[in-house]
Chains A and B, each alone.
Chain A
């Protein structure tokens, strides 16, 4: 299945119909939901990543990581579902939009980074003990990577409508 076919399938899907058949305000409300999801996701991610990069080092990492990862997960879920709806409305119109082709891989790489953080020994250790310098360095690098890919996906996502 090519990308064009995938977009045609998405546009014709039940989600696409729901997006188009529910009145003139529906798209705007889903757009608002998407922004709230992104704000929750990035608002949480930026706190955690800056902490991993060394800010607020007097606050225990475990105390920051627990609420931020939970809120980021919730925000991502909201943003992903509403975002699929926004795209499905007229999915084929976005074929060839370069910002979409930046955004989707950037989200993929950000999620890959989440996976790598969570399976790292440093991340698993931080809930039970103080981290060594090398472990903090490793987490800081992944925190910076996280910021880069989330900012890229948000930046590209915002620009989709301006193409």
Chain B
């Protein structure tokens, strides 16, 4: 095998593993959009690469709710003080591909009758 072929093969195999990674993009999440309802255990934080919050579902599992980047989440109307800890919310999004990771990349947060579409371009995926 010529060196060029080896380098090219290596580059393609490295590149093809990238969709498996989470956080940036949607590659690390399942395609199906699901909804879950839970109690907010840690309020919305608009710091770092993504907004975050934590909710506990009725089975006692604590889910990490990954929101849009802080500026987008804020412009969707979801601020750090919008939802108090202890409130019930319904989140619509795509859960982590790894079934042992309780993390959901979120499209819409539903709280007190309002819908916060942090990814409005995907809002039509929410049923």
The interface of chain A, by Cβ under 8 A from chain B, is 19-21, 24-28, 31, 89-90, 159, 161-163
**Min CB gap B101→A, angstroms:** 11
In this complex, what residue of B is CB-closest to A163? Answer: B21
Residue of B21, B24, B48 with highest tally of chain A CB at under 10 A: B48
Query: Among B21, B24, B45, B69, which residue has its beta carbon within 8 angstroms of that of A28?
Result: B69
Asked if B18 CB lies within 8 Å of chain A CBs, one says yes
Cα distance, A109 to B18, chains bound together (Å): 26
**Residues in B whose Cβ lies below 8 Å from that of A162:** 18, 21-24
Cα distance, A20 to B51, chains bound together (Å): 11
The interface of chain B, by Cβ under 8 A from chain A, is 18, 21-24, 45-49, 69-71, 73-74
In this complex, what residue of A is CB-closest to B20? Answer: A162
Known pairs A28-B69, A162-B18, A163-B23 / 13 extra A-B pairs, C-beta < 8 Å:
A20-B45, A20-B48, A21-B47, A24-B70, A24-B74, A26-B47, A27-B47, A28-B71, A31-B49, A90-B47, A162-B21, A162-B23, A162-B24
Q: A159 touching B21 by the CB < 8 A rule?
A: yes
**Residues in A whose Cβ lies below 8 Å from that of B23:** 161-163
**Min CB gap A75→B, angstroms:** 22
**Residues in A whose Cβ lies below 8 Å from that of B71:** 24-25, 28
Q: A24 touching B18 by the CB < 8 A rule?
A: no
**Min CB gap B6→A, angstroms:** 18
**Residues in B whose Cβ lies below 8 Å from that of A89:** 47-48
In this complex, what residue of A is CB-closest to B64? Answer: A93
- Report 7 cross-chain contacts, Cβ distance below 8 Å, ordered by A residue: A89-B47, A90-B48, A161-B23, A161-B24, A162-B18, A162-B21, A163-B22
**Min CB gap B5→A, angstroms:** 22
Cα distance, A109 to B19, chains bound together (Å): 30
Cα distance, A28 to B18, chains bound together (Å): 22
**Min CB gap A33→B, angstroms:** 15
Report the 10 A-B pairs with minimum CB-CB distance, sorted nearest first.
A162-B21, A24-B70, A20-B47, A89-B48, A24-B71, A24-B74, A24-B46, A90-B48, A161-B23, A161-B24
